[in-house]
Amino acid sequence: MGSPYERQSGPQSLADVLERVLDKGIVIAGDIQVNLLDIELLTIKIRLLVASVDKAEEMGINWWKSDPMLSGDHEKLEKENKELRERLDALEARHG
């Protein structure tokens, strides 16, 4: 039995690498800062998490469950928005 630090022989396929990344998760972080004469004009913080849905949920990340555009509720919200605008227009017409 070899050391855990020894390199395994044979190429790993892209699917194997992707499976490992999704199973464990990977975070890529970086900051971009724009300065002019030692005055900070712009700071952009970039954080990228690549993980499976199961792994993300384990970490407490599940924003897609409440996002109406991803959960299928956007049509309901669009209809409700249209109805409210029509009611508002009617009220404004009566009292305008």
- Whole-number pLDDT of residue 82: 92
Residue 56 has pLDDT above 70, yes or no: yes
The predicted model gives 82-87 an average pLDDT of 94
> Is the CB of residue 22 less than 8 Å from the CB of residue 51?
yes
d(C-alpha 21, C-alpha 12), whole Å: 13
> Is the CB of residue 3 less than 8 Å from the CB of residue 15?
no
| Domain ranges for the chain | 12-61, 67-96
d(C-alpha 58, C-alpha 24), whole Å: 11
Residue written as token pair 């900070």: 40
Please provide the average confidence, as pLDDT, over all residues in the chain.
81
Single pTM value for the model: 0.42
d(C-alpha 55, C-alpha 25), whole Å: 7
Which two structure tokens, joined as six digits, stand for 41? 């004009």
